[in-house]
Structure 1
């Protein structure tokens, strides 16, 4: 697992991970940045898929990546409705679901933000602990954790 300070919308990888809700709208945080950079097509697809599949917190669903330099966006559902609180347990399930989906699809590289640490309200140090535990030993997928401010990275490296 690599850790990088940077803008996830500029990352180049098979998959860029979005911190998503289970309804599809991409209205804030990383989701809004992805929509602005990659195009509304991502959000339109997300809303359609959510209506069809009704994803729950901890689930992952897949859309195209619009104009981003990725093959797919993996939407990790950290909350059912926009701006609801999340939890460490949901983040843990999201990370496990991300790895499972990536392996099913033959994904070789994935870039993740600090899931649920924005409007989800989960403390960054708690999320960093779960990232180290679940992603730290992954060898078959090139995983990069990207944080625009660097605040999350200090907990990952600590």
Structure 2
């Protein structure tokens, strides 16, 4: 099966998909950017699920490059897949960790039976990853990862992010 990759400029919390991927921090307890928006719009059920995960399997937080799912609360989705992207570094190549965010999120999506998944540009906001390189890694990893997901939708917040992904899509 071939996965269709689409690009949308807009708000990831407004997407009607099976799973929305959250660019989370390791605490899983909400934050800024995409993480804060998902928690605000999704409501307290997402935070409650995250707290249960912290109390059981992830007492020290979710490791960078890993992914885990919770309810989507009031989002128009069934699940939120939380993944922790790496901070960009000029001293150390962390691209494998960023690629792992996409692979692990697709693995979790497959376990859930999700057929449509919306991704943000993981690590390209407050974590400082250059958008062009974030797009290269995201698109390359999604294309190379075997999955039953039928549509991967990259939901990009602004024109610059959309254009960076569009330039890499072809």
1:65 aligned residue (51, 72, 76): 72
What is the CA–CA distance in structure 1 between the aligned matches of 2:101 and 2:147, rounded to whole Å?
18
Contact in 2 for aligned 1:15/1:107 (Cα 8 Å): yes
Aligned residue number for residue 29 of structure 1:
33
Aligned residue number for residue 157 of structure 1:
166
Q: Computing the radius of gyration over CA atoms, which structure comes out larger, 1 or 2?
A: 2
What is the CA–CA distance in structure 2 between the aligned matches of 1:104 and 1:40, rounded to whole Å?
24
What is the CA–CA distance in structure 1 between the aligned matches of 2:54 and 2:161, rounded to whole Å?
29
Q: CA deviation at 1:61?
A: 0.8
What is the CA–CA distance in structure 2 between the aligned matches of 1:51 and 1:154, rounded to whole Å?
40
Contact in 1 for aligned 2:25/2:31 (Cα 8 Å): no
Residue deviations 1:52-94 (CA, integer Å, cap 9, x gap): 2222111101110010000000001225xxxxx2543221011
1:9 aligned residue (6, 9, 13): 13
What is the CA–CA distance in structure 2 between the aligned matches of 1:56 and 1:148, rounded to whole Å?
25
What is the CA–CA distance in structure 2 between the aligned matches of 1:39 and 1:48, rounded to whole Å?
15
Q: How many residues align?
A: 153
What is the CA–CA distance in structure 2 between the aligned matches of 1:51 and 1:88, rounded to whole Å?
30
TM-score, L = length of structure 1: 0.89
The reply on whether 1:41 has 2:53 as its aligned counterpart is no
TM-score, L = length of structure 2: 0.83
- Between Structure 1 and Structure 2, the one with more strand by share is 1
What is the CA–CA distance in structure 2 between the aligned matches of 1:22 and 1:52, rounded to whole Å?
15
Structure 2, unmatched stretches of 5+, are 89-93
| C-alpha RMSD of matched pairs (Å) | 1.7
Contact in 2 for aligned 1:23/1:47 (Cα 8 Å): no
The reply on whether 1:133 has 2:133 as its aligned counterpart is no
The reply on whether 1:106 has 2:110 as its aligned counterpart is no
Q: CA deviation at 1:139?
A: 7.2
